[in-house]
Structure 1
Amino acid sequence: MRSLGALPRPVLLLEVAGIGFLLLSYLSLHGYVTLPAPIGSASAAIVMIFLGIALMIPAAAFMVWAMAQNIAPLLTKGPLPEDKSPTDKTKEKRDDADH
């Protein structure tokens, strides 16, 4: 995969939202940002961490699938067509009995 820009737009948006949740939970837990009462607790920050990781899973799965298609095309595509053109091997088989 060449870049993250090659990801589909919905997957890329989920990735950005997941990173945002992880960043917000980190800043909240370390006291850099004060959040409102319902989402300012430590248990809400833990929920944001799990939510951020869950939102990042589709991008990771898409990148693994794209890498599998690039590295191992036989796993994702059918068998390669055989070459029907005559080669030296067929000629050798035909002339093999001429010794």
Structure 2
Amino acid sequence: MRSLGALPKPVLILEVIGIAFLLLSYLSLNGYVTLPAPFGNATAAIIMVFLGIALMLPAAAFMVWAMAQNVAPLLTKGQAPLDKSHSDKPKDKRDDADH
């Protein structure tokens, strides 16, 4: 993962919305922002925290999956190709009885 911009657009949008929910819940719990009645209580702030974390999980899963593909290609892409030096030709046997 070279940059955050390498994330797909929907995952990046979910990440930004999740961060916004976390920021809004922090600001409302500390009294910096006054939210309307249904969203102004502590229960709504706790729900916003969990919703923000849930919206950030797809980006974390995508980054872990991309790292797994880069670090351990055998886990995701199957068996590695064989070396060209190990071809299917039979090797000469030194212990043949046909001299």
Same fold (TM over 0.5): yes
1:30 pairs with 2:40: no
Q: What is aligned with 2:92?
A: 94
Gaps in structure 1 of 5+ consecutive residues:
none
Q: Residues 47-84 of structure 1: CA distance to partner in whole angstroms, max 9, x if unpaired?
A: 00000000000000000000000000000011122234
> Whole-Å Cα distance in 2 between the matches of residues 57 and 4 of structure 1?
15
- Structure 1 position 44, deviation (Å): 0.3
Aligned residues: 95
Offset at 1:86?
6.7
Unaligned runs of 5+ in 2: none
Which deviates more, 35-44 or 74-83? Answer: 74-83
Whole-angstrom distance in 2 between the partners of 1:37 and 1:68? 45
Identity of aligned residues (%): 76
Distance, in Å, in 1 between the alignment partners of 2:49 and 2:14 is: 14
Q: CA deviation at 1:40?
A: 0.5
Distance 2:66 2:41 in 1: 39
Root-mean-square deviation (CA, aligned residues, Å) is 2.1
The aligned counterpart of 2:81 is: 81
Q: TM-score, normalised by structure 2?
A: 0.86
Which SS does the other structure have where 2:92 is aligned?
Answer: helix
**Residue matched to 2:9:** 9
User: What amino acid maps onto 2:92 in structure 1?
Assistant: R
DSSP-derived class of the 1:46 partner: helix
Question: Normalized per residue, which structure has more helix?
Answer: 1
Distance 1:23 1:86 in 2: 58
